[in-house]
Structure 1
Amino acid sequence: MTHATFYIIEDKHLEADSDYLLHFACHQAALSYQQGNKVYLLADNKAQAEQLDEYLWQQEPDNFVPHNLIGEGPRGGSPVEIGWPGLRHSGRRGLLINLGQDTPNFAVTFPQVIDFVPCDENLKQLARERYKAYRLAGIQIQTATAPETP
């Protein structure tokens, strides 16, 4: 059974760091990788995927996370693979981190999903729609407040 966690992003996070959501998503990917999981980071678009890729490359050597954009890297992908809508990830992974505005129709193939509830009202409504779609797909859902610093 798939389990999903929706992290609620508060205004104060974005005031302190305009890229908080991307940093937090990369932090979650790194934690999952350190626990031995393969991760799929689903960006909203190619430009955001490239931002995630760049952010992961900028980590300290001790915190390096092997990753690649879809279509790059080894066959089967790196432990952390970054994609965007319209692409297919390369195989079984333990965690889906969804930064997209739409519900990925393949979310049920992952044991764990992380999604986000932004503070912007329009984006919050899209998160509600994703929540409903996950629930209809039989995914167990919980919510949590995003931490102060990822």
Structure 2
Amino acid sequence: MARIDFHSNVSDKLEYVCRLSRKIWSATKEGDSVRNIVIVGDKANLKKLDELLWLFSGTDFLPHCFIEDEAAAETPIVLTESFSSPAFNLVPHTDVLIHIGNAMPADIPALVGRFPRIVEVVTVNEAERLAGRERYKAYRELGHELHNFDQSKS
């Protein structure tokens, strides 16, 4: 079973994903292989996130690229619009998936079979909250371990 974390009531999704990605990526212990991250979302948000990951910190470098890039297989953080693109199935990343979109993954069993940890980021926007609730129900119905981290007090 996959561990699925819902980070809810996030005020600035893209800034939050930058901080979360930095935390996950930098948590690698010396001698361990780097934990790879796949971030799935809509094109407009991914373009903004791409820019923000470059500018996010003056001291941290978060190596990333879009999944179609020829370096995607070797880059720790990859960005993609779709769970079903051919590139999604080809990239070897299998550690952490961060979902910043509203779309329900079409094949949840395959997704949780591939990624032992899935993070769903849900903002305070009502449409995103409703979509997040639907995803939460779908994961719960499949029997996955769910954790909610309410960011409204952050």
Shorter-chain TM-score bucket reads 0.7 to 0.9
Closer/same/farther in 2, CA of residues 5 and 100 from structure 1, 3 Å limit: same
Residue segments in structure 2 that go unaligned for 5+ positions in a row: 29-34
Q: 1:66 and 1:120 mapped to 2: Cα distance?
A: 29
Letter matched to residue 143 of structure 2: G
Look up the match of 1:144: 149
Look up the match of 1:2: 2
Whether the aligned pair in 2 keeps the contact of 1:68 and 1:77 (CA below 8 Å) is: no
Look up the match of 2:57: 60
Whether the aligned pair in 1 keeps the contact of 2:38 and 2:93 (CA below 8 Å) is: no
Equivalent pairs counted in the alignment come to 140
Letter matched to residue 35 of structure 1: A
TM-score (norm 2): 0.80
1:113-146 Cα shifts (integer Å, max 9, x gaps): 1113332333221111100111233321011112
Look up the match of 2:127: 122
Residue segments in structure 1 that go unaligned for 5+ positions in a row: 14-19
Residue 8 of structure 1 deviates from its aligned partner by 1.7
Give the percent of matched residue pairs that are identical in Structure 1 and Structure 2. Answer: 24
Look up the match of 2:18: 26
Q: What secondary structure is seen at the aligned counterpart in 2 of 1:63?
A: coil
TM-score (norm 1): 0.82
Q: What secondary structure is seen at the aligned counterpart in 2 of 1:47?
A: helix
Closer/same/farther in 2, CA of residues 21 and 75 from structure 1, 3 Å limit: closer
Alignment RMSD: 2.0
Look up the match of 2:44: 47
Whether the aligned pair in 2 keeps the contact of 1:94 and 1:112 (CA below 8 Å) is: yes
Q: 1:67 and 1:58 mapped to 2: Cα distance?
A: 12
Q: What secondary structure is seen at the aligned counterpart in 2 of 1:76?
A: helix
